[in-house]
Each structure stands twice: as C-alpha cells, then as structure tokens.
Amino acid sequence: MSRRYFGTDGIRGTVGEPPITPDFMLRLGHAVGRVLKAQEAKPTVLIGKDTRISGYMLESALEAGFASAGVDVLLTGPLPTPGVAYLTRALRLNLGVVISASHNPFGDNGIKFFSAQGAKLSDAWEQAVEAALEEAPQWVDSGGLGKARRLDDAQGRYVEFCKSTVAADFTLKGLKLVVDGAHGAAYAVAPSVFHELGAEVVAIGCSPDGLNINDGFGATHPEALVRAVGEHQADYGVALDGDADRLQIVDADGRLYDGDELLYLMVAERLARGHRIAGVVGTLMTNLGVEQALERRGVAFVRAKVGDRYVLEELLARGWQLGGEGSGHLIALDCHTTGDGLISALQVLQAAVRSGRTLAQLLDGVMLFPQVLINVRLRPGQDWKASTALADAQHSALAELGQRGRLLIRPSGTEPLLRVMVEADDAGLAERCAQRLAEVVRQG
C-alpha cells in the first residue's frame, strides 16, 4: 500500500500548504488517537517541538485531535527529537510526537512519531494511520475526552539522560567548547549538557525567535562554528541541527569532521576500551575511505539506503549497535534508541579525552576519497528517472570512473531536490563527473 502523507521521515512540507495545515493536524491527531486506542483504552502521548513559530499552531491542533479521540497529552515545549524519544520510553507512554522539519528553513514543518520504546515506527503503523485518516471521525463523548498538561521538567530530565551516557568519571574540565544550537530545539539543553560536564561553553545559535531556526547557524551551516572556534580560541566546536539529531564537530585548527569520520571515531573509542564491534552500518553515501579503514580493523561494514530510519532498521536486523550518515545522523544503540546529536558529540569527545589525542590524530590513517555532492532543484513534474540524457551521462561517467570511484543519484526524501554524488580517488575527476551530471539534470 502506497503512503499518501508519510515520507522517509514522517510528514513534512510547507506551512500553510496541505498537509501542514491546522485542519489536517486536527484530523491527524484524531486518526493517530484512534489507532492507539485499538491497543489501549486510555493512551497517553508526548508532544515536543522545535522553535519554529508554526509549532504553536500545529501543537494546538494535534492536542485537540488527540483529545477528541480520548487520548491524554503531555506537552514538553521545545525539546530535541531524541529527547522526545527518550522521555516517551522513560515515562512509559504510548507514543512520542515531534513537531519539526529538522534542518529545513523555518517556513517548513513536519511531524515525526516514536513508539513506546522510543524507536521510529514501522511502515505498517504509518499505513494504519493513513487508513484511519480516510475514515469519518468518531468523536468521543465529553466524559471520554483526553486531558493535556505541561511536563515542566522535560529539559532537565533529558540533560541528565545525556550525561548518563558517558562514563561516571568523564569530565570536560579544561576544555573550551563552542556550542551551536541552530536557534533550534537544543538551544537551552545543549549548552547545559557540556557546562554541567565541566566545559567552558561559548553558546552561539541559541537565541531562537521562531523565524531564525537553521538560518546561518547549526550543522547545515558550519561556517559560523568554524569562525567562532577561531575567534574564541576554543578546543572544539559542536553544531547541531534544528531538532538536534544531526551533528558536526570542528577542532581548534578549524577542521570540520563529517558524520563518516565521527562514526569511525565512535567505533575506534569502543575498540580501544576492548569492546567487540561485530559490524557497522553506513549508507550508500558513506565515504569509501571509512569503509576501508573499518575493514582494516576487522569491523564489517554494510550500506543501507540513505536515511537514518534505514540505518536503524539494518542495525536492528543484524543486532549491531553503531551506524550513521555523513550528514551527521549517528546512532549508538548502546546509548539511545535513536540518533542523537548531543550524545554522539559526547561519545566523540570522550574518545579524545580518554586517549589524550586530538581527533585528527585519532583519524590518522583514515584516507577519505574526495566526494562531490551537488543538490539540483527539480522543477514541478520533472521526471528525472525517464531522462535518456541523464542515463547516457551516467553511463559515460561510470565508464570514466572505472575502478577509481562510484556515483549515486537519488531524490531527497524531504525536499524537491535531486542529489548527485560522485566519489573518486582524484578530486578533479569527481568534480568533473558531478558537474556534468548536475548540468544534465538542470537542462532536463
């Protein structure tokens, strides 16, 4: 069964355009409530959000929809997506709901759901919700309506959870960190986590106004972090995205580490502690150099489809614990049930502190292949799959790359973009092939 509303990461779109409208959110809350009530008579859901101004409107509509189906609601206010996943599990609730469009600009928003175990929900669950959306509402009577209340200590609970994922004797004392919250969901909790572990914290991107989320700050705009680390002569900089499940790290020299390198560091830290790592899950975009470095250390590596939900599915299927994407979505199932930018940052910093080495030193010997990624905006109705010109260009590029590299063309799951990636042992070769392919898409 095809899905009408759910994409690769929940439901997402432009605010004011279907389905990101208050009337749809009312229907969605009611439909999800009915699906939940098929399993439990009086379920309770947790609703968190990022800092977009549209969150107020969507939160109210969802709350009303849940109440109309007889579902109780707990409201956290702004809280990172992984914080909602954690509290849903810790408080033994039936469902976690996040109002966020992650790294998208403020004019977008979306809805994500987490199970009672704090994990992404299955395609079958999403299909059940879509089926309920097509049915007429079944309003409960006044005596059966759901209630709503604020969870005032949500941020404090999540800060303590993040701190609990590192060793009890771990400290960041003596380190100066720049923490960039992207003016998003982690604007309050991120500086607190690092400060309470002993670091001197310089906070940037932590002044949300409802309109500035991801605007020039955060993991998708790391240039602000690089500048701040240099200006404040900090040891490291940590940047999160709007809902804080994505991470970028900068060192004192201004070097930016992507998710592929950070994933390797998390693996290396566990190996240094004597842990056995059966395998690691990356994606079709993961740099070939990281795959080769892991295999040299005896760690198996497999590629999932792009998207943290697919990485998680592969981890669960194989019984492995570590996986992630180059974009900075990293998953450590020995710490949390979902990807968490803050927890991943702590894992990486713990590797540096415990070893007494810099991140660059820890990555010595990991040779990344030059990788060029170009995002090409698609026109409405543009059928890139049917383009013979693009097929010919791909065939030509593959012939030129031979055994020296690879290419991947895929649509974004959240925006009308086609992502063109070329990886090769020579940067010039990768750039030429990527630009040719992107130009064909633009002309198509």
pLDDT tens for 22-62 read 999 999 999 999 999 999 999 999 999 999 999 999 999 99
The CATH number of the domain holding residue 399 is 3.30.310.50
Hey, which residues does 201 pair with through a beta bridge? Answer: 177
Q: Which of 152, 167, 190 is the last residue of a domain?
A: 152
Q: Where are the beta strands (DSSP E) in 287-388?
A: 300-304, 322-324, 330-332, 371-377
Q: What pairing do the DSSP bridges indicate for beta strands 330-332 and 176-180?
A: unpaired
What is the Cα–Cα distance from 406 to 401, expressed in whole angstroms?
Answer: 7
How far apart CA 314 and CA 113 sit, in angstroms, is 19
Residues 79 and 147 in one domain: yes
**End-to-end CA gap in the chain:** 31
**Whether residue 250 is found in the same domain as residue 304:** no
- Identify whether residues 143 and 25 lie together within a single domain: yes
Q: Are residues 245 and 280 in the same domain?
A: no
Does any domain span residue 377?
Answer: yes
Number of folded domains that form the chain: 4
Burial class (CB in 10 A: 0-12, 13-18, 19+), 392: exposed
Based on the fold, state whether residues 138 and 100 are members of the same structural domain: yes
Structure tokens at 65: 């929809």
Identity at 419, one-letter amino acid code: R
Residues 172 and 272 in one domain: no
Pairing of strands 405-411, 417-424: antiparallel
- Dist CA 7 CA 26 (whole Å): 19
Q: Give the range of the structural domain holding residue 243, as residue numbers without chain letter.
A: 157-254
CB-CB contact of 329 with 103 (8 Å): no
Residue 97 in domain: yes
Widest Cα–Cα separation across the chain: 70
Measured at the alpha carbon of residue 242, what is the angle toward residues 162 and 366, in degrees to the nearest 5?
Answer: 70
Closest CA to 145 of 67, 73, 74: 67
On whether both 23 and 137 belong to a single domain, the answer is: yes
List pLDDT tens digits, range 153-182: 999 999 999 999 999 999 999 999 999 999
The last residue of one of the domains, among 254, 273, 295, is: 254
Domain assignment present for residue 1? The answer is: no
Q: How far apart are CA 276 and CA 340, in angstroms?
A: 22
- Work out the angle at residue 93's Cα, subtended by the Cα atoms of residues 90 and 97, and round it to the nearest 5 degrees: 100
Q: Which of 152, 170, 193 is the last residue of a domain?
A: 152
Among 440, 442, 438, 439, which Cα is nearest to 422's? 438
Angle ∠(44,46,52) on CA atoms, nearest 5: 150
Q: What residues does 155 pair with on adjacent strands?
A: none
Q: Which positions of the chain have pLDDT values less than 50?
A: none
194 and 206 inside one domain: yes
Question: Residue written as tokens 């097509």?
Answer: 134
- Quickly count: other Cβ atoms within 10 Å of residue 296's Cβ: 10
**CATH code of the domain in which 304 resides:** 3.40.120.10
Same domain, 382 and 355: no
**Residues with catalytic roles:** 102
* CA–CA separation, 173 and 176 (whole Å): 8
Peptide bond into 19 cis (omega under 30): yes
Residue 5 is assigned to a structural domain of this protein: no
> 247 lies in a domain?
yes
The enclosing H or E element of 401 equals helix 388-401
Same domain, 357 and 421: no
Q: Are residues 186 and 92 in the same domain?
A: no
| Strand ranges (E), 242-395 | 247-251, 256-257, 279-283, 300-304, 322-324, 330-332, 371-377
364 CB-near residues (< 8 Å, 6+ apart) = none
* Residue 44: how many other CB atoms lie within 10 Å: 19
Q: 117 - beta bridge partners?
A: none
Judged by DSSP in three states, 417 sits in strand
In a domain, 96, yes or no: yes
Task: Look at strands 72-78 and 44-49 and give their pairing.
Answer: parallel
In a domain, 137, yes or no: yes
* Same-domain check for residues 205 and 336: no
Rounded Cα–Cα distance for residues 323 and 24 (Å): 34
Return the amino acid letter for 153. D
pLDDT tens-place string over residues 235-280: 999 999 999 999 999 999 999 999 999 999 999 999 999 999 999 9
Residue 204 lies in a domain: yes
